[in-house]
Amino acid sequence: MKPRLGVYKFTSCDGCQLALLNQGEDLLALIERVELVHFPEAGPNRPEAELDIALIEGSISTPQEAERIRAIRARSGHLVALGACATAGGIQALRNAAGSGSAWRAALYPQPEFIATADRSLPIAALVHVDLELHGCPIDGGQLLTALQQLLAGGRYRPSGDSVCGECKRAGHACVLVSGDEPCLGPVTRAGCGAVCPGQRRGCYGCFGPSAQANIASLKTVFAELGLTEAETGRRLAFITAEAFRTAEKKTHD
């Protein structure tokens, strides 16, 4: 009997599901090894099915989503969180710094009493046990296929704890921070994207979240030397993975 695989969407943009679909023939080869029971983006729609592997895109932003993720966890052997929303709350988690939910709802919506949303946008691991987290906005589709292949073989995928800087060096990219004075979060961001932004001479914006030993305080000093104000640096860190960077920065001060 083939392992049963399901893909679920919560509060998100569908980008991580598209990253999986974009794997083309490699994805078709993987599908031959599993029974795809739920993936509305691609066709199958059996949301209540028992699963060996559940892939989860998106953060938990409503009470209904909290109930749904607990139900999926209860009937899944392995649960994999996909992307910045599922692993760190996503850009929608910026609302977490805005105080009480009633305050920001009243500021945004003319009739906030009709908006059924939680006060905070939370990563999947804040509510249920997660067996594996794959980061990024979107995820790297090849990394996901590799992780699934290892799970199907009875192994466990271990994402790199290195920073994007290592990927830049291996790819032969000139450092945009040193040679271009471009503010770049690569020194403190987890590897896995293939240094796609620095490869285009753009600064990394940290969508994979903080690396294992992120020295955010030192990077802030470098940004200040480039002329960025503290507020400008703060806005760069308070983006897609804001909560994760706040936690990492706190650890460097403790």
Structure tokens at 58: 């998106």
pTM of the entire predicted model: 0.90
pLDDT digits (tens, 9 = 90+) for 69-112: 999 999 999 999 999 999 999 988 888 877 777 777 888 889 88
Least-confidence region, from 23-37, 93-107, 113-127, 171-185:
93-107
Average pLDDT of the chain?
91
- Specify if 158 maps to a domain: no
The reported pLDDT for the residue numbered 89 is 92
- Specify if 159 maps to a domain: no
With 0-12 / 13-18 / 19 or more C-beta atoms within 10 angstroms meaning exposed / middle / buried, residue 154 is exposed
Between helix 230-237 and helix 216-225 the angle, nearest 10°, is: 130
What are the two backbone dihedrals, phi and then psi, of residue 144, each rounded to the nearest 5 degrees?
-65, -45
Owning domain of residue 219 = 164-253
User: How many degrees, rounded to 5, is the angle at CA 127 between CA 205 and CA 89?
Assistant: 15
Mean pLDDT of 34-49: 93
Q: How far is it, in rounded angstroms, from Cα 155 to Cα 149?
A: 9
CATH of the domain at 19: 3.40.50.700
- How does DSSP assign 11-50, residue by residue? BS-SHHHHHHHTTTHHHHHHHTTSEEEE-TTTS---TT--
Cα 229 to the center of its chain, rounded Å: 27
The reported pLDDT for the residue numbered 238 is 82
Taken in order 205, 210, 214, 218, is the CA torsion positive or negative?
A: positive
Closest CA to 56 of 123, 116, 152: 123
Do residues 51 and 86 both lie within one domain? yes
Do residues 112 and 132 both lie within one domain? yes
Do residues 121 and 199 both lie within one domain? no
Mean pLDDT of 222-230: 94
The reported pLDDT for the residue numbered 158 is 87
